[in-house]
Every structure is written in C-alpha cells, then in structure tokens.
Amino acid sequence: MSEPLLVVRDLCTTFATPTGRLRAVDGVSFDLGANETLGIVGESGSGKTVLSRTIMGLQPRTNVEVSGSVRLGGFEVVGASETAKRSIWGTEVAMVFQDPMTSLNPVVRIGNQITESLRVRLGMSRAEAKARAIELLELVGIPSAAERFRAYPGQLSGGMRQRVVIAIALSCSPSLLLADEPTTGLDVTIQAQILNLLDELKQRLAMSVILVTHDLGVVATRTSRIVVMYAGRVVETGTTRDVFYDHRMPYTRALLESSPKVSNPSHTRLAAIAGRPPNLTELGAGCAFAPRCAYASDRCRAERPELTAAGDGHTYACWHPLAPRGAPS
Amino acid sequence: MSNADQPLLSVRDLEVTFGTRRRPLSAVAGVSFDIYPGETLGLVGESGCGKSTTGKALMRIIEPTSGQIVLEGTDVTTQTGRALRQARTKMQMIFQDPISSLNPRRRVKDIVAEPFDCWKSVRGPERDALVSDLLNKVGIDPEVYGDRYARQFSGGQCQRISIARSLAMRPSLLICDEMVSALDVSVQAQILNLLEDLKVEYGLTLLFIAHDLAVVRNVSDRVAVMYLGTICEIGPADALYSAPAHPYTKFLLGAALEADPDSPARDDVLQGEPPSPLDPPSGCRFRTRCPYATEKCVAEAPASREVAPGHQVACHYPLTVTTKGPASDD
C-alpha cells in the first residue's frame, strides 16, 4: 500500500479542433491519498472538467489524444480499453456531474437508474437491488425513499435530483468520487445541504473525493489540498491553507481577491484581473497568465515557468513568485 | 429635478399571478418597496422566489396582476402603447445571459444604436459619435470592435455591450437581473467595477437582482430579501448582513460559503426546500422551514415592522437586532 490511491503524472489531453490543436490539459501531475478531499479550482476553460473526465477515462473516441499516466488503485486508466475501464467505473471511481437533470434519464424511474449498476456490476437480484437502492436513497437524505423509488427525475427538485445522482455514484462503493461542479446551479441553502452530505458520506464510506469547482468558497472549508489550474496547467498546488494564505502564484492571489466576500462591507472595490482567460489554441511560449499579470517580465513572455517547490507539498509555477507569508516583501 | 427624499421608483402591493384561475401560481405576492435616486437596491433570494418576475413586472415585460409602479411620479401600471414605451426608456434592463440577449448576426455598433434608431432621436454623425462614446465607456474600442458581430465576443464583452445599449437612452433606473452570474469571477469583478463607475458617471439608480449574497452586498446600499413571492426583510446592506432580523435571512447568510478556510463551520443549515408557489403555506410563507414558527405564524401572515430606522422585517418573532436592543416581543 505504498502508492497513493490516485497518481496522475504528466497528463496531457489534446483535442484536434478545426482551428488547431487545443491542449486542454497540459502536463498535470498530482497524488491523492485515501480518504482525502482534493479541490481542483479554475475558471471556465482552465481544463478542470477535461482533467476530471480524463482521470475517469471519459473522452470522445476521436480527435483526442491523451498522454501521461493516471494510476487509480494500481490500474492504468490512460490507454485502457473501454471494457477494462468499465471494470473500474462504479467500483473504483464514480462521477457526479454538474447538471443533475441531464445526467439522469428523464423517462426512467429513479429507482431503476440506481438498481441498473447494482444489477449489472454487483450481480444483485432484483429484490436485493431494490432494497439496496432504497437504502442508498435514505443514505443521501431523500425523505420517503420507498415511495420516491418510483418517481421520475422530473418529479424531483434540483437538489433532490443531485442527491439521486450521488446515490447512483455511491451505489457500487467507489474508492474515489469525482464531483464536477456538484452544486453549481443549486441554491445556496441547497448547496450547503449537498456539500455537507458529501462530507458526511466521505467520512462514513472512507472515500476520497475530488471536488472540481470554480467557486473558492466551495473548497475553502471542505478540502485538505487544492490544485489551481489556469489554461490547462497546474499553476499552484498545496494544502488548502497554503493556497489561501501563503500563495505564491499571482494568479491565485488575483482569483482570491477578485471574488466578492459576504463579510466585506458594501461597495468594497474588487481587485479585478484585466483581460480574460486565453484562447488555448493560441498559447505562446511563455506563461499563459503573463498577459494579465501585474508582475510579468520579458522572461514570463518568453519562457514557461515549471512547477517549483515552495515547501512540503506546496508548488507553484511562476518566475516572480509572491513573497512567502511573514517574509519581508 | 429629482429630490433625494422622493423615491425614484415606488412599488406598492405588486402581485403577479400565473396559471389559470383554478390553479393560480402567485409568483409575486404583494411586494412593496421604494428605490431612492442614486442608490442601489439589491434584491436577493433563491430560485423561484419571484425576484426576476418582480424585475420583469416593473418593466411590464410580464404584466402585473395588481399593484402600482410609480417611476419618477408617473404611474407606469396604467400606461399603454407609446406612453409605456416612452416610460421604458427611463428604465432599462440587463439580463442574465449576455450572449442570448444580443442578436448574434448584428454588428456591435448597430446593436448599441438600436435605441436611437427606434426613437429616431439622433441620426447621422451625431448618432455614430454617441455610439462610439458609449462603447468607449464600457471598455470596448469602437474602432476595432464596432463592426464585429455580437457572436464574436465572449460573455464578459457581450455584457459590456448590453450595458452600453441599456445606457443609450440615458435611463434613470437600471434593472440588472443576474447580470454577472454567468461570468467567471475575474470577469465578474471587472463588470461589477464597471457598473459602479458608470453608476456615478451617469447618475444611475440600480435594482440589482441576484442570488449571490456576496455580489449583492458588494453592489448594494440597501438589500431586500425575497422568499416565495414576498419580501421578508429589507434594510441597509451592512446592517442586514451583520444583524439579520428575519430567520430566513439568517439561514441564507449562514449557507453562503466564504472563501476562507478559517471561516467557522456552520451546522445550522436550513433543512428542506421551499414549498411550491402553487400551494403556499398559510400565514407566514417561511413557517414550514422556520425553526421558530408557532401557531401564530400558521394563522397570520406577519406584517412588515421596523426594527431599526429603514430596516423592516416581516416576521412575528424577529431576531434581536443587537445594536438596537431587543425587538418588541408580541
């Protein structure tokens, strides 16, 4: 048991598009231990969703190239056949997607959508599967689970649907749960319920969780480590506290400072980042954040910074890192 | 002209009911508020609470079922035809999805010039100069981008173009319906800062409708909290956020996630989901989820009461406002 649950090494996902090759995930490496929660944070187009799908082994069959390595519990996902991947889906890794309406089949009763994987993957009988499905619905906090078993997705609210999606993901007891924007589009009070549920289930079922989100508030108190992505690359990674309080990469700081905070008085001027995330087909040789960065120099525009260690498990990719906390600036 | 004591917009008992007579859905159930010149009123609530419907009813994009809307002394509710269209130039709306609110096949400068062309108020070089000026104001270079099509722009840029278009008729009230919720945080901050600058420059009054509590606090002078078609609390932004008087406001704020690993863990999460507006609870609409609800809340809808100057709450048992001593306890 020396190897962590998930080992991602130099992972690249490249799409062939009409306008050129688009490297959506570019040289991403990280580890995830058992019973750990990792946050992957970035703006739209940063590659966080493609990264989570690549870890899962879900890519289109054509026009995509994946290199590098994703080892999940000793299984190499990159290059594995569909049949081989199917053997880990559900039991080793499961995914919760953003939009619970489109990830459920609207014309199939939710009960049947949960029992499907139980019957196919775990070979349960119809009655066993039904009993287990009702247990799962209760586990994710759906009231009167036995009645809801026969409901269609359209009869449930957004929050309830997301609970059903989580129940399906948990049905075969995966060791890793990938949650891609699990609460975006849900109301704040429902979002809090779903995030608490994920936390509680993680403890109870001893899973690891990867929480992919654009919302720093979602990861602040619920993850042990954070990976910050920009234009397909990891620009900073470290413990949650390091990333929030001792970040070195100017992008991380800019991202934190540009989001309004509930505790700030009204009319607090926001530190906006000029410009917008780059077009991935037109990336230059330098740091992708350089055109928007206040500290950018000629070197940043010419040469891409690699990840540099700042301390135990804390790395950043920047030529002009911010001063460590407590150090004179 | 406009006096700071006189509200710019005054809304009284606004009701919007959808559906059939047999199965009415009351989306907005008697909402009253004032907006004073130069201020930003934030309207916050969860999906389905009627905040967008309220905004649209003010513009009469959705016809109000009853109630009164008075803008700068003119009763908008009774106007029709040209008078209504004329009144609408004084209030403009910016919508959530910046891309679908612009015609993808039209050029940016034509989109922004549309209000001028509609009203035939200015033409020729004067019109072009005004359009260029508006585009410059929102940070879009008219020389470079004016001839491009709306479909060639990103969400943030489209929202800038929408803002330019909405300012063309020099409105006094701008209704912003979830205008930054489709944008990335870094772009969202740009648009919010731009809005603050333009508000000062154009002397705008804003009704800012959003679900994001942090965004609403950032832009608003006063905030109204809606739940299931009613306003449950309205007050100065900082006072309402630091000392909410309505239990719903307290839970809503408690559920907001702060981007700070040291923020205290919240265990007082509001349970359940909002009831259907097709079958709203009797009495107080929040009572089915409220831990403090009593029989009085079932029997009687709470009237709005003042807990501090300018801070009203519709609750039989408002939470103690610490700075003002205990609230009355009937």
Q: How confident is the model at residue B4 (pLDDT cuts 50, 70, 90)?
A: low
* Section B184-211 average pLDDT: 93
Two tokens at A5? 């649950």
Q: How confident is the model at residue A2 (pLDDT cuts 50, 70, 90)?
A: low
- Give the N- to C-terminal CA distance of chain B in Å, as an integer: 43
Q: Tens digit of pLDDT for each residue in B226-245?
A: 999 999 999 999 999 999 99
Q: How confident is the model at residue A312 (pLDDT cuts 50, 70, 90)?
A: confident
Two tokens at B270? 């509001």
Q: Tens digit of pLDDT for each residue in A77-130?
A: 999 999 999 999 999 999 998 888 888 999 999 999 999 999 998 999 999 999
Nearest C-alpha in B relative to A256: B259
CB A15 within 8 A of CB A64: yes
Query: What does the alpha-carbon distance between residue B277 and residue B19 come to, in Å, rounded to a whole number?
Result: 11
The DSSP string of A176-237 is EEEEESTTTTS-HHHHHHHHHHHHHHHHHHT-EEEEEES-HHHHHTT-SEEEEEETTEEEEE
What is the model's pLDDT at position A326? Answer: 59
Query: What does the alpha-carbon distance between residue A296 and residue A277 come to, in Å, rounded to a whole number?
Result: 15
C-alpha to C-alpha distances, B306 to A245, B286, B310, B328, nearest whole angstrom: 41, 19, 7, 10
In terms of Cα–Cα distance, which of A226, A104, A219 is closest to A157? A104
Q: Which pairing describes strands A75-76 and B205-210: parallel, antiparallel, or unpaired?
A: unpaired
Q: How confident is the model at residue B3 (pLDDT cuts 50, 70, 90)?
A: low
Q: Do A188 and B46 touch (CB under 8 A)?
A: yes
Tell me how far the alpha carbon of residue B133 is from its chain's centroid. Answer: 27
Which residues, 6+ apart, have CB-to-CB distance to B309 below 8 Å?
none
All residues of chain A having their beta carbon less than 8 Å from the beta carbon of residue B227 are none
Q: Tens digit of pLDDT for each residue in A9-53?
A: 999 999 998 888 899 999 999 999 999 999 999 988 899 999 999
| B259 Cα to chain A: minimum distance (Å) | 4
Q: Tens digit of pLDDT for each residue in B143-192?
A: 989 999 998 888 889 999 999 999 999 999 999 999 998 888 888 999 99
B186 vs A192, A217, A258: nearest CB: A258
Q: Tens digit of pLDDT for each residue in B88-147?
A: 899 999 998 888 899 999 999 999 999 999 998 888 999 999 999 999 999 999 998 999
All residues of chain B having their beta carbon less than 8 Å from the beta carbon of residue A249 are none
CB A5 within 8 A of CB A72: yes
Tell me how far the alpha carbon of residue B261 is from its chain's centroid. Answer: 30
Query: What does the alpha-carbon distance between residue B114 and residue B92 come to, in Å, rounded to a whole number?
Result: 13
All residues of chain B having their beta carbon less than 8 Å from the beta carbon of residue A218 are 257
Q: Tens digit of pLDDT for each residue in B36-66?
A: 999 999 999 988 899 999 999 999 999 999 9
Tell me how far the alpha carbon of residue A14 is from its chain's centroid. Answer: 19
All residues of chain B having their beta carbon less than 8 Å from the beta carbon of residue A214 are 184-185
Within chain B, residue ranges assigned H as helices are 51-59, 81-88, 108-119, 124-137, 142-145, 155-167, 185-202, 213-219, 237-242, 247-255, 295-299
A189 vs B154, B215, B251: nearest CB: B251
Query: What does the alpha-carbon distance between residue B256 and residue B224 come to, in Å, rounded to a whole number?
Result: 16
CA dihedral sign of residues B72, B76, B80, B81: positive
| A207 Cα to chain B: minimum distance (Å) | 21
Chain B interface disruption, residue of A276, A280, A282, A293, most B CBs within 10 A: A276
Is a pLDDT exceeding 70 seen at residue B321?
no
B213 vs A188, A244, A245: nearest CB: A188
Q: How confident is the model at residue B22 (pLDDT cuts 50, 70, 90)?
A: confident
C-alpha to C-alpha distances, A96 to A166, A209, B91, nearest whole angstrom: 6, 11, 42
Nearest C-alpha in A relative to B190: A272
pTM of the predicted model as reported, rounded to 2 decimal places: 0.87
What is the model's pLDDT at position B28? Answer: 95
Nearest C-alpha in B relative to A44: B184
What is the model's pLDDT at position A280? Answer: 85
- Rounded mean pLDDT of chain A? 91
Is a pLDDT exceeding 80 seen at residue B322?
no
What is the model's pLDDT at position B184? Answer: 86
Residue owning tokens 């499907």: A116
- Rounded mean pLDDT of chain B? 90
- Using the Cβ of B219 and the Cβ atoms of chain A, whether some distance falls under 8 Å is answered with yes
Residues 123-162 of B with CB under 8 A from A: 154, 156
B241 vs A196, A220, A262: nearest CB: A262
**Count of CB atoms situated within 10 Å of the CB of B308:** 18
